[in-house]
Amino acid sequence: MMGKNRKPAFIVFLLTTFFFRWAVDLYAQDIIIPIEQITISGYAKSSQSGSFQSIRIDSLQKGRYAISDLATLLKSETNINVTQYGGEGSLSSIRLRGSGPSHTQVNWNGIPINSPTTGSIDLSLVSSLMADEVELIYGASGSLFGSGTFGGSLNLINKPDWNNRLSFMIFGEAGSWNHYKTGVGVRTGNDSWQYHAGGYLQSSRNNYTYRNTFMPGSPVERRTNDTLKTSGFQQHLFLRLPRSWSVQAGMWLQDRDKDLPAAMSSGYGNPANQQDQSFRLFTRISKIWKKSVLEIVGSRFADSLLYTEYARTTNQAFRQSGLYSGSSSAGLSGRWYPSNTLTFEAGSEVESQKARGSSFTGIMTEYRGAAFGSARYKTEHLTFMTGLRQVLLSGSQTRTLYSLSARYEVPGINLLIRGQASNKFRLPTLNERFWQPGGNPSLLPETGTGVESGLEWGQKSESGSEIQLSTTFFFQDIHNWVQWVPSGTYWSPENIRFVRCQGFEASGNYSGKIGAVRATINSTYSFTESLDMNILSDNTRLAGQIPYVPRHQVQSRFSLAFRGFEGFLSYRFTGSRYTTDDHDPWLMLKPIHIADFSMSHRLFLKENEVLISFRVNNLLNHSYQLIRAYPAPGRSFLLSMNYMFNQKSKIYADN
């Protein structure tokens, strides 16, 4: 649509006008633009989270998995706990540091995209194409990010390359179980404007074989009614305007048609289907002065879901339900640099969330607002930051969030010491409050306090080898955890759970060259206790691990690169997990051992690049489940090819 207009100024006018058409309804979320040395240099929430443990997945790491969904990318590149209901495209969620799926906030360029109805986001619905970088901040600050960060914050970041003149990408992938995927992308512009657009199509039958452990003898069966068809499109516009004004605008469209297989424990069951659509827009306008910056942000998100269940004998639909949810937001923030060491920031935001569907009595609406402020003191070796957020909810309820964080770089020994403390909360979702039957309008927000401390050490040699070591300890209590419990003939949410999350994480990375061969080794271990601390009727504590949280997780990765060739081997271990609140040992999921292998080759010819890769997932064909009664795929093979053309500015190319 926009690609047919010839003049960049006209493109700017159309996009910004259209996007603000949706933003002026007065709604908003966390929006802070970073300024280092009074230039916009990145993502503010990231730059202010330096005392928190974080992981960043860049475009090179993403390239190993082409246009994968976020669940696949996170399982492959991190050591976090991702649960999934079987094959590709199935419902996937993140359970970070012993928390629940609704305890990790997912942001798209600083704006939360968690569902207003569930409080979480299905990671299988998010394509890696939608972001240039993916960042995970463990235990992110509530005063900075807002509601729902007990686990952390997952940030999808789009950013321009001002040296780019023209680049495009064509991608194709084919694999086991009738898996096909193709995508295209284009980027063009100059040092004043950049335009990005991309889209993809995917289909997968997911008709893999598995062992049905619920049947006598655990026979091998083939998965049925698990077909996936999905597509998506995104575009971004970045502008540098006169008098130090800048604009960023983005659009995200997505569609998924997914057949839902029955659990192994229910036999064949009735076939079902779910259709999801997502539509997201945002615009950010910034103005920079000599020692300050002003930012205005607006967004409009909409999601719809249609669930249909069919009779197995007649294939006629006999049960159908639909759900629509949306949010609109707007906000204003400013940052002031009175000196080279001090930074102050303040702002406000408002948001509206709406939902309607067959399980709601009309249109459910909730309004939220917040005022926030922060101060940062930074010297050559020491950084100290404090933040405060005052949240205003519907019905005049208020909530105050605070955070304190510090990091110190010990001179001469490459050692970094960091720590933080903050309180957090999560507001009940529209489903939890208004779902019929069972919704509970009297639910209290989940609340808690957490602390974290860590050490990081790194060393580079003159030969180019590098080693990095880090360890982090964390502790967090979560009160009023919402849990759905039986209530007569239906289930209803209650504030009944008190959970204590504690543990530590350690990682080591090495990279170096042996002749012309580059070797890289990464290993990560995490120990997580997520204990149900409720007091039982006999005045004792249950103190058992909550369902689907493993105590032990390990990931190791090894790669060798030589003249455009790369070999990659990874191993993941996930410990046993309870699946019920009564910790029934007979219903526990067994430990998981997964190995993946890939080989790739890059061909360069002037401004052209071709990447050919072959990947084997679940190399040892291990039989396992991430969610009880939903088998995960066995060994699979994938062959992909990616063609890229890159034209940089002449000044950049000459350097």
Distance CA 293, CA 407 (A): 25
**Domain 2-654, CATH homologous superfamily name and number:** TonB-dependent receptor, beta-barrel domain (2.40.170.20)
Question: Helix, strand, or coil here: 371?
Answer: strand
Domain boundaries of the chain, sorted by first residue: 2-654
The tokens describing 88, both together, are 């590709």
H helices, E strands: number in the chain:
7, 36
pLDDT given for residue 1 in this prediction: 38
pLDDT given for residue 396 in this prediction: 59
Task: Calculate the alpha carbon distances from 103 to 11, 86, 152, 397, 446 in Å.
Answer: 38, 22, 7, 21, 10
Neighbours of 496 (CB within 10 A): 12
Q: Which of 69, 5, 104, 25 is nearest to 281 (CA)?
A: 25
pLDDT given for residue 61 in this prediction: 75
Output the 3-class SS for 484-514. Answer: EEEECCEEEEEEEEEEEEEEEEEEEEEEEEE
97 phi/psi in degrees, rounded to 5: 55, 40
N-to-C CA span, the chain = 36
Distance CA 131, CA 325 (A): 23
Distance CA 105, CA 109 (A): 12
344 HSE (CA, 13 A, CB side): 5
Cβ atoms of 470 and 71 within 8 Å: the answer is no
pLDDT given for residue 59 in this prediction: 73
Q: DSSP letter at 40?
A: E
Q: Which of 241, 248, 66 is nearest to 158 (CA)?
A: 248
Angle ∠(176,178,183) on CA atoms, nearest 5: 95
Per-residue buried b or exposed e for 460-480, using 16+ beta carbons within 10 Å of the residue's own CB? eeeeeeeebebbbbbbbebbb
pLDDT given for residue 625 in this prediction: 96
Task: Calculate the alpha carbon distances from 585 to 339, 378, 577, 589, 627 in Å.
Answer: 60, 51, 9, 9, 15
Question: Helix, strand, or coil here: 96?
Answer: helix
Outline where 235-324 has alpha helix (H): none
Distance CA 368, CA 394 (A): 6
Cβ atoms of 362 and 337 within 8 Å: the answer is no
Angle ∠(621,624,627) on CA atoms, nearest 5: 145
561 HSE (CA, 13 A, CB side): 10
Q: Which of 112, 102, 103, 92 is nearest to 155 (CA)?
A: 112
pLDDT given for residue 538 in this prediction: 58
Cβ atoms of 492 and 428 within 8 Å: the answer is no
Residues in a beta bridge with 491 = 486
Cβ atoms of 258 and 24 within 8 Å: the answer is no
Distance CA 55, CA 456 (A): 13
Distance CA 356, CA 363 (A): 5
- The residue whose two tokens read 């007990």 is 150
110 phi/psi in degrees, rounded to 5: 90, 0
pLDDT given for residue 42 in this prediction: 40
Largest CA distance in the chain: 76
- The residue whose two tokens read 């649509």 is 1
Outline where DSSP puts E strands in 125-178.
133-138, 152-157, 164-175
Neighbours of 2 (CB within 10 A): 15
Distance CA 439, CA 433 (A): 5
Task: Extract the residue ranges of the chain whose pLDDT is less than 50.
Answer: 1-42, 652-655
Cβ atoms of 452 and 137 within 8 Å: the answer is no
Neighbours of 525 (CB within 10 A): 17
Q: DSSP letter at 290?
A: S
Distance CA 580, CA 557 (A): 32
Distance CA 390, CA 374 (A): 12
pLDDT given for residue 28 in this prediction: 30
Distance CA 311, CA 122 (A): 27
Per-residue buried b or exposed e for 531-562, using 16+ beta carbons within 10 Å of the residue's own CB? bbebeeeeeeeeeebbbbbbeebebbbebebe
pLDDT tens, 239-275? 999 999 999 999 999 999 999 998 998 776 788 999 9
- How big is the chain by its Cα radius of gyration, in Å? 25
DSSP codes of every residue in 206-253: ---EEE-TTSTT--EEE--S--EEEEEEEEEEEEEEGGGEEEEEEEEE
342 HSE (CA, 13 A, CB side): 4
**Nearby residues of 537 by Cβ (< 8 Å), 6 or more positions away:** none
**Nearby residues of 515 by Cβ (< 8 Å), 6 or more positions away:** none
Cβ atoms of 503 and 537 within 8 Å: the answer is no
- The residue whose two tokens read 């970088």 is 133
Task: Calculate the alpha carbon distances from 445 to 35, 307, 424, 441, 481 in Å.
Answer: 34, 29, 10, 11, 8
Distance CA 322, CA 212 (A): 32
CA 464 to the chain's CA centroid: 33
Residue 250: what residue type? G
